[in-house]
Chains A and B, each alone.
Chain A
């Protein structure tokens, strides 16, 4: 089963959510699903852009009630 880690970066603004995501990616094993919650709309561009650059898979970018959800799988 894929391990899942939630990065709750709500309330933090750029570059906070991206940096929290990177910090988490550094710690978790390959194949881990990272669910990032962010209230900063900029995260919906920055985080997928970085993930693609670093070769991780972006599996979901969606709007929840008052925040965005970005799901990445570490390569």
Chain B
């Protein structure tokens, strides 16, 4: 019997464990998923939470309810991964041996990397932060809002742009604030990283709403007393409300071997999803250093590939399933409208249709995610994508 250990119970880890449990009999494989708190967070709704359109409780569920029977859930922190000796060491002192390991522990935000961040800035990359931001947004009476990106890469690349466009609508239409302006700080040489999305979606929408943006701006520090953002380029931006995507890093796991870069992103083959030189170690989702979006859909599609490769290896002694960079995101352009962005390593996105229907799909997705996608009772991968996108 093969031992499979999955580290992290987010999208990627849950999908890997569930797909493998459906494919492999209990005599063929023992599957253990380690998660640090045993709770599963549906993160896209932080975008709705920070303007009071959603609450955290609908987006958090116990991980054990989302796993198939026959998967051992261990609630513990991973203290070290030792790939040479095929061991996962836990903070409780327990050790798990494995034949196959999947690292899917995600990304973490580190506000301390920007001096003054904790005192001066808000963000929405997590429910506690989004709820706190809602209080600030709700009490905002007018003035200058600076929204920006405090470091690359970060989870859900379109989200700061979506937040900007939604916040404009919230202030303008819901709160009917007359005297406010929003400016956006991008570290990139253009507004958004993916050129067609920048040119055809975000730039026209920002122009339509009168939102000014600044390119090649790298935030260095925040002065919360003067309410000022200072940049590496020597510029200063005064704000009344500051919303900044904090720097992200790979989950804080120790590795006995050098499996990560200097920001703790796991060195992952972008097609096979194996880690460095280890054919028995996979990484999926936000924790990889693969040059694609850190997005839920990527974690889902990578998890399907990784689980298929492990299945193929156990059954046939080799694996040929490859990840092609497939990414699908709903991108909100207004409160009530969205478009779909689809691409892979070879084909850039295009043909953006901004519709109310896409907004409805984005709102519906959570139900599909919790009820169907994670457990996949019908055995049909990517059902939502096939039906609607």
Give the B-binding residues of A (Cβ under 8 A).
12-16, 18-19, 22, 25-26, 42, 45-46, 49-50, 53-55
Q: Which of B195, B232, B291 contacts A16 (CB 8 A)?
A: B291
Q: How many A-B residue pairs have CB under 8 A?
A: 35
**A55 touching B234 in the complex, CB below 8 Å, given contacts A14-B189, A50-B216:** yes
**A15 touching B291 in the complex, CB below 8 Å, given contacts A49-B216, A54-B234:** no
| Known contacts A14-B193, A49-B216, A54-B233; 6 further A-B pairs (Cβ under 8 A) | A12-B291, A15-B187, A15-B188, A16-B291, A18-B188, A25-B232
The 8 closest A-B pairs by CB, nearest first: A46-B189, A54-B233, A50-B216, A15-B188, A53-B233, A19-B152, A53-B216, A15-B193
Is the CB–CB distance between A22 and B193 below 8 Å? no
Give the A-binding residues of B (Cβ under 8 A).
152, 187-189, 193, 195, 216, 218, 232-234, 291
B94 to chain A, nearest CB (A): 37
Is the CB–CB distance between A22 and B232 below 8 Å? yes
Name the CB-closest residue of A to B220: A26
Interface of A is mostly: helix
Q: Give bound CA distance, A14 to B187, whole Å.
A: 12
Chain A hits for B187, CB < 8 A: 15, 19, 22
Q: Give bound CA distance, A12 to B290, whole Å.
A: 11
**A15 touching B232 in the complex, CB below 8 Å, given contacts A49-B189, A49-B216:** no
**A18 touching B189 in the complex, CB below 8 Å, given contacts A54-B232, A54-B234:** yes
> By CB atoms of chain B within 10 A, which of A12, A13, A16, A53 has the most?
A53
Chain A hits for B218, CB < 8 A: 22
Chain B hits for A14, CB < 8 A: 189, 193, 195
Q: Give bound CA distance, A55 to B216, whole Å.
A: 13
B24 to chain A, nearest CB (A): 36
Q: Give bound CA distance, A45 to B152, whole Å.
A: 20
Chain A hits for B233, CB < 8 A: 50, 53-55
Chain A hits for B232, CB < 8 A: 22, 25-26, 54
A70 to chain B, nearest CB (A): 13
Name the CB-closest residue of A to B218: A22
Name the CB-closest residue of B to A50: B216
Q: Would you list 9 pairs from A and B whose C-beta atoms are within 8 A, ordered by A residue?
A: A12-B291, A15-B188, A15-B189, A25-B232, A42-B189, A46-B189, A53-B216, A54-B232, A55-B234
Chain B hits for A49, CB < 8 A: 189, 216
